[in-house]
Amino acid sequence: MVATAEQTAEQAAPAAGRSLWADARRRFFRNRAALLGFVILVFVTAFALFGGALAQWSGEELDYAVMGQVAELGGPSLATGHYFGTDDLGRDLYARTVQGTQISLAVGVIGALIACVVGTLYGATAGYFGGRTDSVMMRLVDIFMAVPYMFILILLLVMYGRSITILFIGVGLISWMEMARIVRGQTLSLKGREFVEAARATGVSAPVIIARHIVPNLLGVIAVYATLLVPLMILTESFISFLGLGVQEPMTSLGALISEGAGTIAYGTTWQLGFPLLFFCLTLFGFFFVGDGLRDALDPKDR
C-alpha cells in the first residue's frame, strides 16, 4: 500500500474537493472590473424587479398637472413624485424606466437562454458525431446565417403584429447559431480527449457522454459567451424598438424610451433621453465586464 505523507496527514472524514468552479469563483471576485460589473448588474436587476415599489405614479396614468408644459414642469423632482421627470405625455418616467429595464433584461436573458440551450445541444451533437452529420448540420447553420436576420425580424413583426412574443421568438431564432458554431468547435477538441475515449471504451452511450462529459466541460465557454450575448440581444431589441417596431404601447423597453427621448430632445427635455440611456449603458457595461471577468476566471491560461 503506497500512500503519500500528505495523504496520511488528512483527516478520516471525506475531504471536500476544490472544484474548478470554486477556483473560478475565487478568481472572478478578485477581479475588480468584474466585481464592479457584477455590482452594477445586481443594482440594475434590483431596480427592474423592486424599483416599482418606490414609484409614486404608475407608468400608465397621465399627470394632468404637467401635461402640455412638460418642458417647464415635468423635470425630475422629488416634490412631484416624478424622480426621473415625465415623458412627453406626462407619464411618470421613473415607472416607465423600471418597466423598460424589465423588458430589456427579459429580452436579453431569454434570448441568451434560448441560444444556450439550442446552440449547445445542436453544436455538441454536430461536433460529437462528426463526419456527415456534422457537415449537414453546420452547412445548415451557414445557410441560416447568410439570411439577413434583421430584415426577417422586421418582416415577422410587420406580418404578425408588434408583440413581445414575436420579438422573443425572433431574437431566439437568430441567437443560437453563433453559439452552435462555438460549441461545435470546442466539442471537436474535447471529443479527442482521453477521458471521452475512456467513457466510450467503457460503453457509455453517446447522449450520456455528451451530457456528462462534453457539456460540463463546455459550460465555461457557454457562460462567457452567454453573458456577452445578453447585451447584443438588448441592443437588437433596442434597435427594433428604435425603429418603432418593438414592444407595443403602453409597454415599453429601454430602446423605445431612448427613441422617444431622442425625438423630444429639441424641446429641452434632456431627462427623457438621459435616464433610459443611463440604465441602458449601465446594463451593457455590467454584462460586458462580467463576461470579460468570467472569461478570465474560467480560462486562466488564456491571459
Partner 1 sequence: MTAPLLSVRDLRVTFPISRAGDMPWTPPRLLHAVNGVSFDLPHGETLGIVGESGCGKSSLARGLIRMVPSSGKVLWNGDTDLLGLSPRAMLKVRAQIQMVFQDPLASLNPRMTLGQIIGEPLRTHRPDFSAKNRRQAVAAMMERVGLLPQMINRYPHEFSGGQCQRIGIARALVIKPRLLICDEPVSALDVSIQAQVIDLLKDLQREMGLTMIFIAHDLSVVKTISDRVMVLYLGRMMEMAPKHALYADPQHPYTQALLSAVPIPDPVAERAKRVIPVEGDLPSPLAPPSGCVFRTRCPRAAPACAKEIPQAGDEAHRVACLFPGPVRAAERA
Q: What is the binding site for partner 1 (CB under 8 A)?
A: 1-4, 7-8, 10-20, 193-195, 197-204, 208, 212-213, 216-217, 219
Residue 140 C-alpha from the chain's centroid: 25
Query: To the nearest whole angstrom, how small is the minimum distance from the Cβ of residue 212 to partner 1?
Result: 8
CA 93 – CA 274 distance, rounded (Å): 11
Instruction: List all residues 6 or more positions away from 53 whose beta carbon is below 8 Å from its beta carbon.
Output: none
Query: To the nearest whole angstrom, how small is the minimum distance from the Cβ of residue 242 to partner 1?
Result: 42
Residue with cell 427635455: 269
User: In the structure grid, which three cell numbers stand for residue 191, read together?
Assistant: 471529443
How many other CB atoms are there within 10 angstroms of residue 273's CB atom?
18
CA 74 – CA 80 distance, rounded (Å): 9
Query: To the nearest whole angstrom, how small is the minimum distance from the Cβ of residue 19 to partner 1?
Result: 6
Q: Which has the closest alpha carbon to 227: 101, 38, 99, 93?
A: 38
Nearer to partner 1, 8 or 165 (CB): 8
Query: To the nearest whole angstrom, how small is the minimum distance from the Cβ of residue 203 to partner 1?
Result: 4
Q: How far is CA 275 from CA 69, 75, 271, in A?
A: 19, 12, 6
Residue 6, burial from CB neighbour count under 10 angstroms (0-12, 13-18, 19+): exposed
Residue 128 C-alpha from the chain's centroid: 27
Instruction: List all residues 6 or more positions away from 134 whose beta carbon is below 8 Å from its beta carbon.
Output: 126, 127, 184
Q: How far is CA 67 from CA 72, 74, 83, 124, in A?
A: 10, 8, 16, 56
